[in-house]
Amino acid sequence: MTGLVCSLAAGFLLALMSSSVVAQPQPFITVASTTSTEESGLFGHLLPAFAKDTGIQVRVVAVGTGQALKIGERGDCDVVLVHDWAAELTFVEHGFGIGRREVMYNDFVLLGPKGDPAHVYGGKDIVAALRRIAAANAPFVARGDDSGTSKAELRLWSEAGIDPKKTGGGWYRDTGSGMGPTLNAAAAMDGYTLSDRGTWLSFKNKRTLTIAVEGDRRLFNQYGVMLVNPAIHPHVKQELGRRFIEWLTSAPGQQAIADYKVGGAQLFFPDAKGAPS
């Protein structure tokens, strides 16, 4: 009887130990990133490969670049991956982020309806195209959400010498939302809009929208990644976050970025190089 009791007790302890091993949570990090990395499908391609290589899960908060950086400032994520070079450098200079690395690039494209009321199709000068859109009072749908795309668009309007929010006429409209909803609004209104190429290629509801202007050097779109500073936010998972950044900028991570295509078209181009900034 005593032997039976001992055997049962040993079996119970073994079951407890086994269940505790199974119940161990999988390590994870939180990444605040742009809507373009999520809506383009890139993260859906990259993150399973990263988890397979490292055993680390990634939870993504997909918002505009400005919001992603604010999340990093508050310490509500471990890593930030965004696309506004100037804002990223300011984030680092103020001590909120460390070890910024360039990861990949693509470009912005000006989209518009096939009817092309502003007569900008086929152009290579984005600033000249914006001037024509404003002169024609043609509908332009903007994100207006402090995203990297929104900031790039406003810089281009500034270079064109136009403040579209002060011209009147109702032709310029903010959605205050991500790239996907903004593209839907532009498609519904037969309007123009600026989009990153990755989200555009993945977008299904194109309707009459097509690329009107591309290829201007001012449409270059660089992405950077950085760790939220653990000296300011000690709870940041710096070891796991560094592994994510190292993987993204390593040969396997860069190849995974290059391999992601939609309809045979490459959406992002890896360009990790040099030391962290």
What domains are defined for the chain? 28-106+220-270 (3.40.190.10), 107-219 (3.40.190.10)
**Span 89-119, pLDDT tens digits:** 999 999 999 999 999 999 999 999 999 999 9
Tokens describing residue 90? 């300011």
Q: Is the pLDDT of residue 2 over 60?
A: no
Q: What is the pLDDT of residue 4?
A: 47
pLDDT reported for residue 3: 53
> How confident is the model at residue 168, as a pLDDT?
79
Q: Is the pLDDT confidence value at 238 over 60?
A: yes
Better-predicted residue by pLDDT, 131 or 276: 131
136-169 tens-digit pLDDT? 999 999 999 999 999 999 999 999 999 999 987 8
CB distance 148 to 34 below 8 Å = yes
- For residues 121-144, average pLDDT: 97
Residue-wise pLDDT tens digits, 164-207: 999 878 999 999 999 999 999 999 999 999 999 999 999 999 99
User: Does 5 score more than 50 pLDDT?
Assistant: no
Side chain identity, residue 227: L
More confident residue, 122 or 3: 122
**Is the pLDDT at 41 greater than 90, yes or no?**
yes
Q: How many CA atoms lie within 13 A of 3 on its CB side?
A: 0
Provide Rg for the chain, Cα atoms.
23
- Taking residues 39-57, what's their average pLDDT? 96
pLDDT in tens, 204-218: 999 999 999 999 999
For 256-276, the pLDDT digits (tens) are: 999 999 999 999 999 998 656
Condensed to tens digits (0 to 9), the pLDDT of residues 243-254 reads 999 999 999 999
